[in-house]
Amino acid sequence: MSRRCLRCGSTYEGDAKFCPKDGNALVEVGAPAPSGGTGSATGIRKVVPTSSAKQDLEKAGSLTNQMLDGRYQIVKKLGEGGMSYVYEAKEISTDQTVAVKVLSPKLGKDESSVERLRREAGLAMRLDHPNVCRIMRLGETEDGMIYLVMPCLKGELLSDIEVKVGPMTPEQGIPIVAQVSAGLHHAHLLDIIHRDLKPENVMVVTEADGSPHAVVMDFGLAKEKKAGPGMAKLTATGIILGTPEFMSPEQIRGKPLDPRSDIYALGILAFEMFTGKLPFQGRNAQEMMIARLRGTPAALRQYRPDLSEKLEKALAKSMETNPDNRYTTALEFGQALAASLDNRGLIDKLKSVLQ
C-alpha cells in the first residue's frame, strides 16, 4: 500500500504512518474519503482531525507561561517541527533553565514513535561529552504528554549560521566540524550511531573568547550498532529514517549502518559549510539520492578554488561511496581536517579536541 505526505508530497510503500522528513501523518493513495471528510481529484484521502486531536495539538503547542508536569515552568517556545515542540523552561526544584522537547500528540499516540523517543532518551543519557547534548530526563504527564528535558544551550543552529555567514573559511568551519567529529566519536565508542546528522542538528555556542563550541543535538534517530530483533522492528516500516540530502549510500539502500555512515553525512555537512552547496545535485531529494548511489561528489575546489587540496582530499575521502574507503573513525576525519589548516596556533588548539 502506498501512503503520501500531504505536506511535502513524498510517497512511501508499506505501513508507515508518519513522514520521516516532517512528521506529518501519511494518507493512503487512492483510498476513498472517510465519512465526514472530503475527497479530491487525485484520489488521496484527506483526514480531518477530530476536535479532540486539535485540542491536544493546540495544547502541546501553546504551553508558554504554563506549568508542565508540576516540575517545569514554561518560559517561551524556542521552536517547533513536525515531530515536537521545544520550550525554554525553569525547573522549579533547582531554579535551573532547561530546554523541554514535547512530543507532538499525533506521534505520542503512535507506539513506534513513542518507542523511538524512549530509545533517544535511553541512548542520550549514556552520552557524556562536551560536544554532545545530553538528555537529563524523560517524562510523561498525567494526560499522556511525553517530553524530554535537556540543557538549554544559548547558541545558534549551524543551519542558521550558514544562511547568515555564507560559505565559511577553513578557520571558521574546521573547528566546528572537528568538534562535531569528536562528539560523534564519543557516541560511536558507545556503539551509538546518530543517523540524522545535518546542520539543523548542530548547535553552535559562542565562547567568551569568541570561539565556536559545537554541540551535536537530537539523537532521536540514533541506533545502537548491536541492535536486537526488537530494535530492528522499529525500522521495519517500509521507510528509511534520516534526512535524504545527508544520507549515506548504505543508508539509502537500507543496509546495516556503522560509524562510517555518520562520517559520510559529516562530509556532506562540511562541504555545504565551505561552498553553500551540496556535493550531489538533483531536482529533488530522490534524484540526489540516486546521484549518491551512482555518481561521485563534486570536487570542493570546483566551487572554492581558493581552498587547499588537502581539504578537498579530506572531504572526498569522507564521502567515498564504499564505506571501506572512508575514514575508519570520525576522529580521524577531524584530524585530517585540522591537518589541512595553515594556522599552526589553531591546529594546536584543535589537538586537545581531537584526542
The answer to whether 252 and 286 are in contact (CB under 8 A) is no
> How far out from the chain centre does Cα 48 lie?
29
Answer left, alpha or beta for residue 275, where phi above 0 means left and psi between -120 and 50 means alpha: alpha
Beta bridge partners of 77: 87
Q: Which three cell numbers stand for residue 109?
A: 499516540
Angstrom distance (rounded) from CA 3 to CA 268: 29
The answer to whether 212 and 204 are in contact (CB under 8 A) is yes
What DSSP designation does 82 have? S
Among residues 56, 69, 196, 209, the one annotated as catalytic is 196
Q: Is 342 a catalytic residue?
A: no
Q: Which three cell numbers stand for residue 207?
A: 565562547
In 152-269, DSSP assigns E strands to: 156-157, 192-193, 202-206, 212-216, 223-224
Q: Which of 239, 343, 322 is nearest to 10 (CA)?
A: 239
Angstrom distance (rounded) from CA 78 to CA 263: 29
Angstrom distance (rounded) from CA 264 to CA 287: 18
Angstrom distance (rounded) from CA 251 to CA 240: 7
Residues carrying an active site annotation:
196
